[in-house]
Structure formats: C-alpha cells, structure tokens
Amino acid sequence: MTAERAPIHPYTVLALAILLPGVGHVAVGQPQRGFGFAFFALLLALVSWHTTTPEHSFVGRSAMGLFVWALSIPDAYRIARLRYETWRQRRQERVSS
C-alpha cells in the first residue's frame, strides 16, 4: 500500500492567498485558476484606478481589484480545506480498517 502525501495545510494556503492574489490557488494545484484571479485583480484595479480621481484614497482607486483579491482568499481556503479533510478522512478510514 502506498502512502498518500498530505496536502498543504489550509491555514498555509490561507496565508499565501492573503499575501498575493492567486498564490493560494497555485499552492493547491490550480495554477490556471490562480492566474485568472491574479489577472482580473490587476486588470480591475487598473480600470478602477483610471476611472477615479486623484482625490480618492489608494483603496478607493483600486477597489475593484481588491474586491477580486478578497474573493480569491476564501475560494483558495475552501479548496484547500476540502482536500485536506478528504485526505484526513481517507487516512482515518485506513487506520480503522
């Protein structure tokens, strides 16, 4: 019987997703999804930057990109948590049988 390698811990993925958009998805093995989040976060940040005035704060000027980044954080964590719990349950079943 081959030992299945443990997936990356969900809290590590959460920390990576908070640091940079898309990196959490890359860590869980979905680089295309991570690239999509990073691309649209940057694209929408640029769009909102150019459609606002200099009187707005940095957060206000890049709000759309920050919104996409904020959406990517729980998405990456959810994927990591599901994979981790599935792995843990399988391991528990093997030990008990």
Would you list the DSSP string of 20-82?
A: STTHHHHHTT-HHHHHHHHHHHHHHHHHHHHHS-TTS-HHHHTHHHHHHHHHHHHHHHHHHHH
Residue 59 lies in a domain: yes
- Tens of pLDDT along 34-70? 999 999 999 999 999 999 999 999 999 999 999 999 9
Residue 80 lies in a domain: yes
- What pLDDT sits at residue 4? 76
Residue 32 lies in a domain: yes
Q: What's the domain range around 55?
A: 10-96
**Cα angle: 1, vertex 97, 94; to 5 degrees:** 45
Residue 1 lies in a domain: no
Residue 76 lies in a domain: yes
Residue 3 lies in a domain: no
- What pLDDT sits at residue 95? 87
Residue 2 lies in a domain: no
Residue 68 lies in a domain: yes
As a whole number, mean pLDDT of residues 14-43 equals: 96
pLDDT at residue 1 tops 60:
no
* Count of domains observed in the chain: 1
- What pLDDT sits at residue 96? 86
